[in-house]
Structure 1
């Protein structure tokens, strides 16, 4: 029995020593993905630069949303065009809560190939000549993959959507 406990302890010790935790918020990877998140959502979601959005997502994008279900790349773009970027006076806007961001690197044989980014984002409706109206807050988890030197969004989890609470 003691040998079994020792083996389990050694396995846990080896596993714990090889686990990579959250990237330091001052690291180049964290800062690069923080900027990537900002640029990605400003251009694609807030400004509706569809060509940019298409160039920054993997071909096999998977998008999981707690209110509108699963979307593959085709369905995702249909919904973006219909609900986010439709010509209307009321434009949905996304803003990240900067201090909520966390980044976890993904390695394959010691080589960085991607990262997991987590945080909280807020959604607003923008109308010309009016203040933005806060509509909801949610959590997100993104899997970014490096493809030919460009960070591309591969998997998205958008969940725990809630009404605004005085943010």
Structure 2
């Protein structure tokens, strides 16, 4: 009897929280829409924590503070103003998405995403896929990403 009760509690605790999933998925979509499809450093600054860190299996340590990440982004925005500049888009693969709570802090998000590129106004092409883990912090002002691990990058044929 005790074992059955303990197992039931464990299963309930591991069940995904639909509200948490929806909140983190929305924060994720807003973050990547800002990063890839806008040039709005102030908006990005409001989406990352001051102590933000990002690690990438191809680019290494991308940033160790929110300010550094936003500055890198702002520099990239300037380059995108050229008519023939390369532009990228990220698409989450929703069937791979997993969100787990971090009590008293926020949530851990994990999944896969694909990337598309186009030059200027040219046609968009699928170019890559990767796995990610993101640590989100929930505060009075909403969700902010604190850590990003981006790895297992693969080129797409």
TM-score range, shorter chain: 0.7 to 0.9
The Cα shift of 1:85 comes to 5.7
Q: 1:19 to 1:44 in 2, by over 3 A?
A: same
TM-score normalised over the length of structure 1 = 0.76
How many correspondences in the alignment? 147
Structure 1: tracts of 5 or more residues without a match: 1-9
Provide the secondary structure at the position in 2 that maps to 1:160: strand
Q: Which moved more, 1:145-154 or 1:89-98?
A: 89-98
The Cα shift of 1:138 comes to 0.5
Q: 1:85 to 1:41 in 2, by over 3 A?
A: farther
Q: 1:62 aligns with which of 31, 48, 53?
A: 53
Q: 1:77 aligns with which of 70, 81, 86?
A: 70
Indicate conservation of the 8 Å contact 2:101/2:107, yes or no. yes
Whole-angstrom CA distance in 2 between matches of 1:157 and 1:143: 9
Indicate conservation of the 8 Å contact 1:22/1:105, yes or no. no
TM-score normalised over the length of structure 2 = 0.80
Provide the secondary structure at the position in 1 that maps to 2:24: helix
Whole-angstrom CA distance in 1 between matches of 2:148 and 2:15: 18
Whole-angstrom CA distance in 1 between matches of 2:92 and 2:78: 19
Task: Tell me which stretches of 4 or more aligned residues in structure 1 moved more than 6 Å.
Answer: none
Provide the secondary structure at the position in 2 that maps to 1:131: coil
